[in-house]
Amino acid sequence: MEKTNNNKYLRKVLFVCMGNICRSPAAEGILKKYIQDKGLEGKIYVDSAGTIGYHAGEMPDTRMRKAASERGYNLTHRSRKFDPDFDFDYFDYIFYMDNQNFNDITYFDQNRVYLNKILSVSEYCLKHKMILVPDPYYGTIHDFYKVIEILEDACEGIIERLIKEIEPDNKR
């Protein structure tokens, strides 16, 4: 991501997980596809990051890319570490995958200045009743497919919210 305060976008969304190679780049890819399908390119910016920088510069996990590709999503993101000095101010929404991600992000916001923009991605699921998005990294390929399914559901809820915010009079 180019670190600039380019405010041409009406909304800016960041997905965060631990390593930024499984869940958050998948959510990024899914939401980007939904944005494209709805003709909202240039209005909503999407990125992802990890709470650790261990995988910085790497492509998403091959198993996640396979699961995503089979559902029509192209994951091209390169892993990066969450940057509190930039990300808190730049993004309108910072969606986390699980409680550890939430704890890691809010650690950098000890004065609770940005708490209103730090949201659980699972709260936007329309069909699944999830408390968190499980990390598939140490699981089987089936766990990656399940995470894609959960994130598709959550991104449907997120895109609905974003559309209402940026096009409140539009009855899509």
CATH number of domain containing 36: 3.40.50.2300
Considering the domain boundaries, does residue 51 fall inside one?
yes
Considering the domain boundaries, does residue 152 fall inside one?
yes
User: pLDDT confidence of 6, banded at 50, 70, 90?
Assistant: low
Q: Judge whether residue 1 has pLDDT over 70.
A: no
Structural domain for 122, as ranges: 11-166
Structure tokens at 143: 């766990």
pTM, full prediction: 0.94
Catalogue the active-site residues.
Answer: 17, 23, 135
Average pLDDT of the residues in 45-58: 93
Considering the domain boundaries, does residue 2 fall inside one?
no
Residue 25's SS3 state is helix
Compute the distance between CA of residue 82 and CA of residue 101 in angstroms, rounded to an integer.
11
Considering the domain boundaries, does residue 172 fall inside one?
no
How does pLDDT run across 69-83, given as a tens digit for each residue? Answer: 999 999 999 999 999
User: pLDDT confidence of 90, banded at 50, 70, 90?
Assistant: very high
Please, what is the average pLDDT of the chain? 94
Considering the domain boundaries, does residue 6 fall inside one?
no
The total number of structural domains in the chain stands at: 1
How does pLDDT run across 107-143, given as a tens digit for each residue? Answer: 999 999 999 999 999 999 999 998 999 999 999 999 9
First and final CA of the chain: distance in angstroms?
Answer: 30
Considering the domain boundaries, does residue 24 fall inside one?
yes
Considering the domain boundaries, does residue 131 fall inside one?
yes
